[in-house]
Amino acid sequence: MDLWLIKKFITDALREDIGEEDITTQILVSPDLSYRKAKIVAKSTGILAGIEIAREIFHFLCPDTIFGNSYKDGDKFNSGDTLLELEASPQAILKGERVALNFLQRLSGIATLTGKFVKMVSPYGVKILDTRKTTPNLRLLEKYAVRVGGGLNHRINLSSGIIIKDNHIKIVGGLDKAIKIAKQKAPPFTKIEVEISNLDELKYIIENKVDMVMLDNFSYQELKEAIKTIRNKSRQTLIEVSGGVTLENAEKIAKLKPDFISVGGLTHSAAGVDISLEVI
Amino acid sequence: MDLWLIKKFITDALREDIGEEDITTQILVSPDLSYRKAKIVAKSTGILAGIEIAREIFHFLCPDTIFGNSYKDGDKFNSGDTLLELEASPQAILKGERVALNFLQRLSGIATLTGKFVKMVSPYGVKILDTRKTTPNLRLLEKYAVRVGGGLNHRINLSSGIIIKDNHIKIVGGLDKAIKIAKQKAPPFTKIEVEISNLDELKYIIENKVDMVMLDNFSYQELKEAIKTIRNKSRQTLIEVSGGVTLENAEKIAKLKPDFISVGGLTHSAAGVDISLEVI
Amino acid sequence: MDLWLIKKFITDALREDIGEEDITTQILVSPDLSYRKAKIVAKSTGILAGIEIAREIFHFLCPDTIFGNSYKDGDKFNSGDTLLELEASPQAILKGERVALNFLQRLSGIATLTGKFVKMVSPYGVKILDTRKTTPNLRLLEKYAVRVGGGLNHRINLSSGIIIKDNHIKIVGGLDKAIKIAKQKAPPFTKIEVEISNLDELKYIIENKVDMVMLDNFSYQELKEAIKTIRNKSRQTLIEVSGGVTLENAEKIAKLKPDFISVGGLTHSAAGVDISLEVI
Amino acid sequence: MDLWLIKKFITDALREDIGEEDITTQILVSPDLSYRKAKIVAKSTGILAGIEIAREIFHFLCPDTIFGNSYKDGDKFNSGDTLLELEASPQAILKGERVALNFLQRLSGIATLTGKFVKMVSPYGVKILDTRKTTPNLRLLEKYAVRVGGGLNHRINLSSGIIIKDNHIKIVGGLDKAIKIAKQKAPPFTKIEVEISNLDELKYIIENKVDMVMLDNFSYQELKEAIKTIRNKSRQTLIEVSGGVTLENAEKIAKLKPDFISVGGLTHSAAGVDISLEVI
Amino acid sequence: MDLWLIKKFITDALREDIGEEDITTQILVSPDLSYRKAKIVAKSTGILAGIEIAREIFHFLCPDTIFGNSYKDGDKFNSGDTLLELEASPQAILKGERVALNFLQRLSGIATLTGKFVKMVSPYGVKILDTRKTTPNLRLLEKYAVRVGGGLNHRINLSSGIIIKDNHIKIVGGLDKAIKIAKQKAPPFTKIEVEISNLDELKYIIENKVDMVMLDNFSYQELKEAIKTIRNKSRQTLIEVSGGVTLENAEKIAKLKPDFISVGGLTHSAAGVDISLEVI
Amino acid sequence: MDLWLIKKFITDALREDIGEEDITTQILVSPDLSYRKAKIVAKSTGILAGIEIAREIFHFLCPDTIFGNSYKDGDKFNSGDTLLELEASPQAILKGERVALNFLQRLSGIATLTGKFVKMVSPYGVKILDTRKTTPNLRLLEKYAVRVGGGLNHRINLSSGIIIKDNHIKIVGGLDKAIKIAKQKAPPFTKIEVEISNLDELKYIIENKVDMVMLDNFSYQELKEAIKTIRNKSRQTLIEVSGGVTLENAEKIAKLKPDFISVGGLTHSAAGVDISLEVI
């Protein structure tokens, strides 16, 4: 990820947290105090994501910050691990602490949850995909965290490719018609996926040879049948299973060997990982 | 909440989701199609937050959108409830759908979780506070969702007041010293809170009469003793309990009758509520 | 195209042209003068692109502007044709004139040039593609003008898909290696194209089955041979011819029946079409 | 030109070209690869403009970029000349290439075309002026390129001075009236020019002594007569010839010795110069 | 003045004053209360400037605001005069009050002070000019207020024309040299003024025929002599007197009949006029 | 103050003053001239505020600027004192001069005026407060200048705390009611102040125990009685005197020993201090 693409987002977040001034720090801590050491410490297990952002924050507030040992994004950590050592002006440490942790906690939460799904389905050759159910204006970072956790990104946004969903079909007036228009008009470098919600619709996929099919909210039995049919009749179509996937049922689905399982919860419901900062 | 304060945030989120263009919609759906009805439907129970933002999104994309029945922020809903009816250009419905839902799911998730804590502690006269552990650049909205769920907001940002925490104390060189400086230099309209982590530090609170004390990560026994001591010796000091509060232990803590219980998880770990949009 | 996505770009252009104030208009023309009619008139032949932007400019400067007859984007026009009639406050007409024309002239210039290429190659079933050789910060509009002129868009930007070019190959250390890495790591919804510059490299395309191949700066004889080979041995690979295509040689190339011919000059060297505004 | 004034414009252009990420580079090229040399090479003859922007782009993406030999803005180049040598991280070279070239090609195209006009008219003591017919939001750069090519800038924008044109005259209700109002109300530091379109209007210029007159779309005979009259009767008025000036007729006009010839095509129709980047 | 050019400045000012929320209004006043009348009332005498901005603020916060009687910019007012009547949502009135008044007080303060100078010098045919000594980022508005008060604007910014000042002369190495370079290189539509600080330098002005001369910090006797000399020997040069001009000495200077007297204090030291808002 | 919070404001101010280019400097001064020394010199007495901004401006325009002796914010200066020595590229000195001085003059003007009030009232233990009557979009800097001058800041903006004023009371329908609602609904970290305008309203303050009371536009006799009453009956309530306070009457009021005197004129009517820059 290019940090410069999100630099303004990071400074906006600092501005959001500081408001007009960090009045506690301004009153208690002279800007001229000599530098202090601090460490960012994990309070639970997980997969790290966002450490470059944390570094950027302290570097921004104190360009002379010295960084010591550091975990890298993608590293696994346990409770008590020191994820990053730094030495900086006390004002910078205090002003940057909360925002750095807020980024780390959320992004590591996503990477950690993604990692759990990946671990569960990868033995079956299945890959985990994210969705567009991300936090407003945080998508780039959340999709990055999914990659860090071992997942793959589905569409970044609506210009990344064509997915025909139920609401499109209702408006166009039929799945078959929608696929045909899309295949005719799509620019050359754009893939086409179709979301179907029952076995009957399978035939349109097979006839029209789309790049990818999303089996949405199928029962286990339907999934089994749909995947078998597609593998037989439309070998080049990639298969994505979607809807209601949890850590409880992911492995069972993976055994059916779709190409991908997509999980909205990776980004809309990952709990933050507990991480703190301690001045030494 | 003043919608205009976040209007750019909303259009940025739309831009994030659309990228350069919604290629599926552009190809499949004429901009001149006659208006269609759609409804936003709850897929689980919860407390609604963000409905004005959803309306704003469709209104922005299609200024002639007609809105029908609508739940209001703060309303409780059950699975299957129609939260908002609308009639708009099909392109606008398709382009706005995901972003509107992303706002609704996250904010309602926070309101719903807050509501659970509030229900649990309010019989004891205790109030739920949020923290600064919010999603970067989403704080105003997340704090709004906490209020919708019945909670109170603690500091919006670092300029909202003085809280002396462990890292400040380490840098200043002592809790007593830190409190004394703060009381002397604080501007007249600024409150002072002190975070303490053990019973020994209680004496400084009592001697110095700060506005509020945060009992952070105390054991149940320590909490009991601390609250009793403060109520006896420093009647005007408000008491906040913080650290490790969950739906499992919140009521037990509430019975000790602090003034406030603060819960970081309201904003850093609330799961999104399941809500969808259906074209009719 | 969603006008709101470029609204700021349009007002920035107005601000650029007005500077601090339109001093001529401020001094000569009272803001309260009654509305005047004006028309936008073509001074040469061409294909229109950008008329919605012109309307937006006058609407922005004078929300009560009444628009009369209007050509639509994609319409062909001859010298003397009235492209748009409007009635607005004289100040708005004078302030918006130059910027509206600057948009119209450039975008219509691109659409017109594209149309010439399309007319030349479409009888052979070949399609015209644009490139990333666009004016900085004007890409969305210029790619839109290409579509208006009958062309197709290639990648909008570097996130639209993978194209392996000569400089990538030099850095990776070999075409074969580059293709293999790309095929292994590409996300599921991303196509892969490879640029080759000689017949020897053809074999890697055929072995690795990429989605698309770009034959860059091939001689006519090489083109002939390359296209034949690919059609025989890798039927699913789309073929793009690129490099040095002009109105003089486009038809000859089209007769070789590649799928696409891409023309950088559509956007980097299209002359502006002459269009003016006359107060009536 | 102050680079900082356009720094955001440059990074916006990079952002436009990268979109969410340069997926080809991300997949193929490790960010840790050792630095590579590259050179920017001319593919035709021309006058260079924009080299500082190209340097800024690579410096921005890779602050440690080492620049070798470099042509300067205003230098003439031939096909095959190396315009700039650089050594930078491979990722930075690949990400910056297209945008750097897009700036160079357009600005050098303008400088080159301007240079041709200047060469043709300067023997007669005549100077080339640009117009406001520039690419939206690129005016500062395009006007800079005109200067690099040896031209002079006319108004930067509408606040640079007063030019009374045909549409103003129609609205005010007469040329004479318009000039009189302008002369009375103009602030002290603002010049006044009047555009006239026939010989009859000359008298108002002579009576009212404006700073400059624009002879717009005059025939050759009319030009001859107009210039003679003005030189005789209003010696201090500067003369600008405008409208339909091309490389074919510029010298003939120059022989009539107006002070200035203005050419809209410098900025609205200059073809991009062919320039490429090669990794070594 | 085009209001849209400063619309973002106005909403930024509202955002600055509201911060995250107007907590008093949010707590005390329901957003659904029926509309209330209010009036903006002068508490002293003066010349009004900024009333359109005040209207824009209330219109922005409450698009249905109804405006009643209103003074216009340039109108004189006395203490007790109602400058604007309005009827709007109580929340909008309370949120907009302070910012609307801050604009009105400052801009009317400038217009009022300008008006005093103008009244004093206009009987002698002398005009009042402003300077670039304006409040950072408020220049457009402050220069507008000067015009409202009857003054003329000098350079809007450094691109409005050439003024050669003492520091330029020191760096170039001589006044004569500086003037000669300027006259040779200045673009055709740019005026040239020279600041001189003693009588000796007068000769360069006369020899080189610049457009305007600024007599800076001259004694009264020197002024007298300088003006006489210029009027005799360089009739076309406009004369500006600058430096240390106050309401006490302006008339005396005006009697010497320079063309302009410039007063930095118009914008850097005008006291705010007392204006308040009363809910009725 | 964190300079990065206002960096964009500073560069916007530079952009405002430069416009499209500093044409005088561009024409007269080569960018390659060797560095020159310059000094910022006081032309009157005062208290310095804003020197870090001045340094930032020259550092921004010329990153290699060398700074020599420098006064610090809060230092007192006399006419003739050199406030800052610097050595930089001549272009940077000329381009930064006016903006640097504009910041210094305004902020030092505020600090100087504040210092006069502070000197007058501090012997009586009274403190000076500012108000929200600040220049639009300059509040952070102006409130900083008040602190530099020895004053304290009242609310930064409307989210800093609750002040119930006359217009709130009219809308709510009574002071007593307003106070009761505020006390019940205010978040825990927010103080409450009430503005009263006559002695009768005192009783509500005393009954309801608000944090602070503002005695607005009281006569001297009323002030005397009000302060006495509050000190007797509501010892914990802080007292602010407001309205019509000048350098003439401030000491007399201070003798009544309120806690605070607030002065709007600190920010809305402070005259700029005379400061200039001289190239050496």
Strand E260-262 and strand E127-129: pairing? parallel
Strand E192-196 and strand C192-196: pairing? unpaired
How far is residue B44's CA from residue F260's CA, in Å, rounded to a whole number? 55
How far is residue D51's CA from residue D72's CA, in Å, rounded to a whole number? 7
Q: What is the mean pLDDT of residues A171-193?
A: 95
* Residue F264 pLDDT: 97
Side by side, the strands of the sheet bearing B212-216 are B127-129, B260-262, B238-242, B212-216, B192-196, B162-164
Mean pLDDT, chain B, rounded, equals 96
**Token pair of D201 as six digits:** 């209007």
Please indicate if any CB of chain B lies within 8 Å of the CB of E7: no
- The closest CB to that of E189, out of D127, D154, D188, belongs to D154
Query: Does residue C231 surpass a pLDDT of 80?
Result: yes
Q: Are residues E258 and E204 part of one domain?
A: yes
Nearest-CA residue of chain C relative to B12? C5
Q: Are residues C65 and C180 part of one domain?
A: no
Q: Are residues A100 and A233 part of one domain?
A: no
State the best of D126, D189, D194, D236 to mutate against chain E, taking most chain E CBs within 10 Å.
D189
E174 to chain F: which residues are within 8 Å by CB? none
Mean pLDDT, chain A, rounded, equals 96
* Residue B64 pLDDT: 96
Q: Are residues D101 and D156 part of one domain?
A: no
**Token pair of E269 as six digits:** 């030291």
Residue E1: pLDDT band by 50, 70, 90 thresholds? confident
Q: What is the pLDDT of residues D192-241, one digit of tens each?
A: 999 999 999 999 999 998 999 999 999 999 999 999 999 999 989 999 99
Handedness of CA A226, A231, A237, A243 (dihedral sign): positive
How far is residue B248's CA from residue E47's CA, in Å, rounded to a whole number? 67
Q: Are residues B46 and B97 part of one domain?
A: yes
CB-based contacts of A203, cutoff 8 Å, min separation 6: none
CA angle F101, F106, F110 (to 5 degrees): 145
Residue B94: pLDDT band by 50, 70, 90 thresholds? very high
Measured between its terminal Cα atoms, the distance across chain D in Å is: 31
Rounded to the nearest 10 degrees, what angle do helices A90-121 and A51-61 cross at? Answer: 170
How far is residue C218's CA from residue C244's CA, in Å, rounded to a whole number? 9
- The closest CB to that of D1, out of F11, F21, F61, belongs to F21
- The closest CB to that of B162, out of A24, A93, A94, belongs to A24
Q: Active site includes E133? A: yes
Residue B168: pLDDT band by 50, 70, 90 thresholds? very high
Q: Are residues A162 and A55 part of one domain?
A: no
Query: Does residue C1 surpass a pLDDT of 90?
Result: no
DSSP assigned state of E30: -
The set of catalytic residues of B is 98, 133, 165, 195, 216
DSSP assigned state of F34: P
Residue B165: pLDDT band by 50, 70, 90 thresholds? very high
How far is residue F246's CA from residue C237's CA, in Å, rounded to a whole number? 84
Please indicate if any CB of chain D lies within 8 Å of the CB of F12: no
Q: Are residues C211 and C198 part of one domain?
A: yes
Say how many C-beta atoms besides its own lie within 10 A of residue A64's C-beta.
10
Q: Are residues A256 and A127 part of one domain?
A: yes
How far is residue F214's CA from residue D215's CA, in Å, rounded to a whole number? 69
**Token pair of D137 as six digits:** 């939001």
DSSP assigned state of F46: E
* Residue C228 pLDDT: 97
The answer to whether F272 contacts E268, with C-beta atoms less than 8 Å apart, is yes
Residue F164: phi and psi, rounded to 5, are: -95, 115
CB-CB contact of D110 with D145 (8 Å): yes
Q: How many domains does chain C have?
A: 2
Residue E78: phi and psi, rounded to 5, are: -115, 165
**Look-up of token digits 């999914």:** A146
How far is residue E163's CA from residue E174's CA, in Å, rounded to a whole number? 14
Please indicate if any CB of chain A lies within 8 Å of the CB of F189: no
Query: Does residue A266 surpass a pLDDT of 80?
Result: yes
Residue A12: pLDDT band by 50, 70, 90 thresholds? very high
Per-residue pLDDT of chain F (280 residues), as tens digits, is: 799 999 999 999 999 999 999 999 999 999 989 999 999 999 999 999 999 999 999 999 999 999 999 999 999 999 999 999 999 999 999 999 999 999 999 999 999 999 999 999 999 999 999 999 999 999 999 999 999 999 999 999 999 999 999 999 999 999 999 999 999 999 999 999 999 999 999 999 999 989 999 999 999 999 999 999 999 999 899 999 999 999 999 999 999 999 999 999 999 999 999 999 999 9
Q: Are residues D150 and D98 part of one domain?
A: no
Residue B1: pLDDT band by 50, 70, 90 thresholds? confident
CB-based contacts of C57, cutoff 8 Å, min separation 6: C10, C14, C96, C99, C100, C103
How far is residue D217's CA from residue D225's CA, in Å, rounded to a whole number? 14
- Counts of helices then strands in chain C (DSSP H, E): 11, 12
Q: What is the pLDDT of residues B18-57, one digit of tens each?
A: 999 999 999 999 998 999 999 999 999 999 999 999 999 9
How far is residue F240's CA from residue F195's CA, in Å, rounded to a whole number? 9
How far is residue F92's CA from residue F25's CA, in Å, rounded to a whole number? 9
CB-CB contact of B163 with B141 (8 Å): no
How far is residue D65's CA from residue C255's CA, in Å, rounded to a whole number? 46
* Residue E107 pLDDT: 98
Question: Which of 106-165 (E) contact A at CB < 8 A?
Answer: none
CB-CB contact of B215 with B260 (8 Å): no
E20 to chain A: which residues are within 8 Å by CB? 19
Q: Are residues B150 and B206 part of one domain?
A: yes
Residue E241: pLDDT band by 50, 70, 90 thresholds? very high
How far is residue A81's CA from residue E276's CA, in Å, rounded to a whole number? 60
Measured between its terminal Cα atoms, the distance across chain F in Å is: 31
Nearest-CA residue of chain B relative to A142? B135
Q: Are residues A130 and A52 part of one domain?
A: no
Mean pLDDT, chain E, rounded, equals 96
* Residue D200 pLDDT: 93
Residue C248: phi and psi, rounded to 5, are: -75, -40
Query: Does residue D70 surpass a pLDDT of 90?
Result: yes
Chains touching F (at least 3 CB pairs under 8 A) are A, B, C, D, E
Q: Are residues C132 and C209 part of one domain?
A: yes
Over its C-alpha atoms, chain B yields an Rg (Å, rounded) of 23
Q: Which long-range contacts (CB under 8 A, 24 or more apart) does D62-66 make?
A: D62/D88, D62/D89, D62/D91, D62/D92, D62/D93, D64/D35, D64/D88, D64/D89, D65/D92, D66/D35
Residue B13: pLDDT band by 50, 70, 90 thresholds? very high
% of chain D at pLDDT higher than 70? 100
Q: What is the pLDDT of residues C62-98, one digit of tens each?
A: 999 999 999 999 999 999 999 999 999 999 999 999 9
CB-CB contact of F147 with F153 (8 Å): yes
Nearest-CA residue of chain A relative to D26? A1
Please indicate if any CB of chain E lies within 8 Å of the CB of D78: no
3-state class of C274 per DSSP? Answer: coil
State the best of A7, A10, A11, A16 to mutate against chain B, taking most chain B CBs within 10 Å.
A16
Q: What is the pLDDT of residues E9-39, one digit of tens each?
A: 999 999 999 999 999 999 999 998 999 999 9
CB-based contacts of D176, cutoff 8 Å, min separation 6: D204, D207, D208
Q: What is the mean pLDDT of residues B171-181?
A: 96
State the best of A20, A23, A56, A60 to mutate against chain F, taking most chain F CBs within 10 Å.
A20
Distance of CA E180 to the CA centre of its chain: 32
The answer to whether C20 contacts F20, with C-beta atoms less than 8 Å apart, is no
* Helix (H), strand (E), coil (C) string for F170-213: HHHCCHHHHHHHHHHHCCCCCCEEEEECCHHHHHHHHHHCCCEE
Query: Does residue D138 surpass a pLDDT of 80?
Result: yes
Q: What is the mean pLDDT of residues E173-188?
A: 95
Q: What is the pLDDT of residues B207-265, one digit of tens each?
A: 998 999 999 999 999 999 999 999 999 989 999 999 999 999 999 999 999 999 999 99
A279 closest CA partner among A48, A41, A50? A41
Residue D1: pLDDT band by 50, 70, 90 thresholds? confident
**What's the CATH number where D61 sits?**
3.90.1170.20
Strand D82-88 and strand D66-70: pairing? antiparallel
Say how many C-beta atoms besides its own lie within 10 A of residue A210's C-beta.
23
Q: What is the pLDDT of residues C257-276, one digit of tens each?
A: 999 999 999 999 999 999 99
Residue D88: pLDDT band by 50, 70, 90 thresholds? very high
CB-based contacts of D140, cutoff 8 Å, min separation 6: D1, D5, D6, D156, F20
Q: Active site includes E165? A: yes
Nearest-CA residue of chain A relative to B38? A167
State the best of E7, E20, E57 to mutate against chain B, taking most chain B CBs within 10 Å.
E20
Residue B77: phi and psi, rounded to 5, are: -135, 160
D260 to chain E: which residues are within 8 Å by CB? 188
**Token pair of E198 as six digits:** 């003693």
Its pTM stands at 0.96
Please indicate if any CB of chain F lies within 8 Å of the CB of A25: no
CB pairs < 8 Å spanning D and F:
13
Structural domain boundaries, residue C45: 3-112+271-279
Query: Does residue B192 surpass a pLDDT of 80?
Result: yes
Distance from the Cα of A252 to chain B's closest Cα (Å) equals 23
Query: Does residue A1 surpass a pLDDT of 80?
Result: no
**What's the CATH number where B170 sits?**
3.20.20.70
Amino acid identity of D200? D
Q: How far is CA F8 from CA A4, C143, E51, in A?
A: 17, 33, 28
Q: What is the mean pLDDT of residues D90-99?
A: 98
Q: What is the mean pLDDT of residues E53-68?
A: 98
Residue D180: pLDDT band by 50, 70, 90 thresholds? very high
3-state class of E136 per DSSP? Answer: coil
Distance from the Cα of F195 to chain A's closest Cα (Å) equals 25
